[in-house]
């Protein structure tokens, strides 16, 4: 498996603004410029839904007792039921467009997804959770020696108890939705060039220091953040009706 890294990066800790940041990612881009990327953990990001897909998978299998197969079939739902929402960055002002790419590449991430999944056996638990994940693009050869190209991908996964999942499933199945908005804050693995006003129009992402060939220079005591934890998550569905 070959990860499509375009240029190398490394962790350094001699940053000028040491009071605010103890370390930064030095990215040498294709223009031979060293860009200093700092933790942009507290930034607000927003996305707009463009497409909803509902996946329901079920397994039907025969019951077998004492090695003798009986002509009885039982309906087993399996944990492959989920909602997929394709996303694109949402902008309140066209002058403030934010682009997303992985550290080590200038490719814009077009494949941004939200997965909503049920947690089976946890019907009334309030321990719903959301995580961020993804990967820089890579190539691999399958069993038939075909070269497969996997594009850069960023996703968010919302795991809900059955009751909350059914609420959203019923909404997307039975209601006419005019728009979907997703707002997040406090995402580990989001970086950007330092700005005194905490503004950026270019977010760089780390999902794996190893796969993205980011040299950590044996700095193991630092809290090197990558995609995973999300502090705040808000999902909104909008329905519009004309008033006669």
What does each of the 244 residues of the chain score in pLDDT, given as a tens digit? 789 999 889 988 765 555 567 788 888 876 666 788 888 877 889 999 999 999 987 766 665 555 555 555 555 555 678 999 999 998 765 556 788 999 999 999 999 999 999 886 555 566 788 999 999 999 888 778 788 889 999 999 999 988 889 889 988 888 788 899 999 999 999 999 887 767 788 899 999 999 999 988 877 656 788 999 999 999 999 888 778 7
Residue 80's closest CA among 60, 59, 57? 57
- CA angle 192/196/202 to nearest 5° reads 25
Range of 208's domain?
Answer: 2-238
Q: How many domains does the chain have?
A: 1
- Residue 165 maps to a domain: yes
List the beta strands (DSSP E) in 162-243.
179-187, 190-193, 202-205, 214-215, 230-238
Half-sphere exposure of 30 (CA within 13 A, CB side): 6
**In this structure, what are the phi and psi dihedrals at residue 206, rounded to the nearest 5 degrees?**
-120, 120
Tell me, yes or no, whether 118 lies in a domain.
yes
The answer to whether residue 243 sits within a structural domain is no
Residue 133 placed within a domain: yes
- Record the pTM: 0.84
| Residue 244 located in a structural domain | no
- Answer yes or no: is 219 within a domain: yes
Select from 107, 132, 225, 116 the least CA-distant residue to 185: 132
Query: Residue 100: beta bridge partners?
Result: 203
């Amino acid at each position: 498996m070959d990860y499509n890294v375009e240029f190398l990066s490394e962790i350094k800790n001699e940053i000028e603004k040491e009071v605010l940041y103890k370390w930064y990612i030095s990215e040498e881009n294709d223009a031979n410029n060293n860009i200093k990327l700092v933790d942009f953990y507290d930034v607000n990001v927003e996305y707009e839904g463009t497409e909803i897909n509902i996946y329901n998978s079920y397994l039907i299998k025969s019951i077998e007792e004492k090695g003798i197969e009986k002509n009885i079939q039982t309906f087993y739902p399996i944990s492959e039921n989920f909602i997929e929402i394709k996303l694109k960055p949402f902008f309140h002002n066209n002058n403030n467009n934010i682009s997303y790419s992985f550290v080590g590449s200038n490719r814009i991430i077009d494949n941004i997804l939200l997965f909503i999944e049920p947690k089976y056996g946890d019907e009334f638990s309030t321990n719903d959770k959301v995580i961020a994940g993804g990967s820089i693009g890579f190539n691999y050869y399958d069993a038939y020696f075909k070269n497969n190209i996997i594009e850069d991908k960023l996703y968010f996964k919302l795991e809900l108890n059955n009751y909350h999942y059914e609420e959203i499933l019923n909404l997307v199945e039975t209601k006419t939705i005019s728009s979907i908005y997703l707002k997040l804050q406090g995402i580990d693995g989001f970086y950007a060039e330092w700005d005194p006003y905490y503004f950026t129009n270019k977010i760089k992402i780390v999902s794996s220091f190893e796969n993205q060939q980011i040299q950590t220079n044996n700095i193991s005591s630092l809290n090197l953040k990558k995609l995973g934890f999300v502090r705040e998550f808000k999902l909104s569905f909008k329905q519009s009706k004309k008033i006669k």
